[in-house]
Amino acid sequence: MSTKNKLQHFAENLTFDNLFQMSYEEVILGFPLAGKWAADFFKNNHEIILELGCGKGEYTVGLAKRNPDKNYIGADIKGARLWRGLKTTQEENIKNAAFIRTRINLIEFYFKPNEISEIWITFPDPHARDVVEKKRLTSPQFIERYRKILKPGGIIHLKTDNIILLESTLDTIREYNHELLEVNYNVYDGQPENELTQIQTHYEKMWLKHGTKIKYLKFRLNPVFN
């Protein structure tokens, strides 16, 4: 994407009423919708599902369209990517989807305890080298952040092309006694048509063209710690 297009997208992002972007200081002092997303923004009492590292928002938008009785929020630091999801919600009048421009290590400040029902993590940077494994969005360090906002029994979904990320997440699940609900090493191998196959991200389409198998798992946090 050219610098000109990025600047245009950044400018248009300021016009969307379902995008929230604040400075670090503002977020730390208190995000005004924390604990009030459903009542004050979505104007309902539906459960909230969060997508982390949402990129262009394919899953946030796709799931919102499939499930109008639920609220969806996508979070990513890349404003130019978020523009695509925001634009789609505007063009298609999708009212149950919103976006936050933020680093994921600040996500706990945007919500109150028990406010999120599920988390989707779709094709994150795998941080394959051991020296940066703490940056993985399914590392124990990040899971601790999610624990602060997930409801008891809340589910975390991971969809990835990267086997190292999948296996490291499985190791974390075992080590911390989380409940593994499902693991699939190739979601396109004879599986029924559902959100795993009918919604595809930009990166997923790229990997599929190279014949890469798409992996998926979901788990529930250990209730002792939740």
Per-residue pLDDT tens digits for 99-131: 999 999 999 999 999 999 999 999 998 886 665
Transcribe 148-191 into DSSP letters.
TTEEEEEEEEEEES-HHHHHHHHHHHHHTT-EEEEEES-TTSSP
Q: Report the mean per-residue pLDDT for the chain.
A: 93
C-alpha closest to that of 77 among 132, 133, 29, 19: 19
- Kindly state whether residue 225 falls inside one of the protein's structural domains: no
Q: How much is the pLDDT for 10? A: 83
In a domain, 66, yes or no: yes
Give residue-wise pLDDT tens across range 185-205.
999 997 778 999 999 999 899
Is residue 33 situated within a structural domain? yes
The structural domain count of the chain equals 1
Cα–Cα–Cα angle for 32, 76, 175, rounded to 5 degrees: 100
Q: What is the mean pLDDT of residues 2-26?
A: 87
| 154-170 tens-digit pLDDT | 999 999 999 999 999 99
Instruction: Report pLDDT digits (tens) over 45-79.
Output: 999 999 999 999 999 999 999 999 999 999 999 99
Residue 226 lies in a domain: no
**What would the mean pLDDT of 168-180 be, rounded to a whole number?**
96
Confidence band of 134 (pLDDT split at 50, 70, 90): confident
185 found inside a domain: yes
Residue 157 belongs to some domain of the structure: yes
**Boundaries of domain holding 194:** 3-220
95: CATH: 3.40.50.150
Helix/strand number for the chain, H first, E second: 8, 8
Residue 71 lies in a domain: yes
Active site residues: 125
- Is residue 113 assigned to a domain? yes
> Rounded to an integer, what distance in angstroms lies between the CA atom of residue 76 and that of residue 71?
17
Question: Alpha helices of 121-199 — where are they, by DSSP H?
Answer: 140-147, 163-175, 195-198
Which residues touch 208 (CB under 8 Å, ≥6 apart)?
188, 200, 214
Quickly state the pLDDT bin for 226 (edges 50, 70, 90).
very low
Does the pLDDT of residue 225 top 50, yes or no? no
Q: Maximum CA pair distance of the chain?
A: 50
